[in-house]
Amino acid sequence: MSTPQIAGGLYNVVLVCPSCGELGAIPATLATRLVMVRGEPATLGLRVKAARLPHACGQLTITAALEELERPPDERAP
């Protein structure tokens, strides 16, 4: 099995809360980091820049609320 490759750029990273299991999407930028130290070979590294997503365990997301409204009344949660 080969490891998938992605180019640097802006991505929406979907994460799962380890406590409540709610999904959240966080925009993240992947970029190259060049490290040069005198007398040593240069190295490339990964630079990740991402904002934090506000979260409260058990909250109802807008997406979940809209999905609930689109369900027939007999299939909606009590």
**pLDDT of 78 higher than 60:** no
**pLDDT of 73 higher than 80:** no
Residues forming beta bridges with residue 33, ordered by sequence position: 45
Identify which of 28, 21, 35 has the alpha carbon closest to the alpha carbon of residue 6.
28
pLDDT score recorded for residue 62: 66
- Average confidence (pLDDT) over 14-26: 88
What ranges do the domains of the chain cover?
Answer: 9-75
Q: What whole-number distance in Å separates Cα of residue 70 and Cα of residue 76?
A: 9
pLDDT in tens, 22-40: 888 999 999 999 999 999 9
Strand 23-35, strand 43-50: pairing: antiparallel
Q: What whole-number distance in Å separates Cα of residue 73 and Cα of residue 78?
A: 10
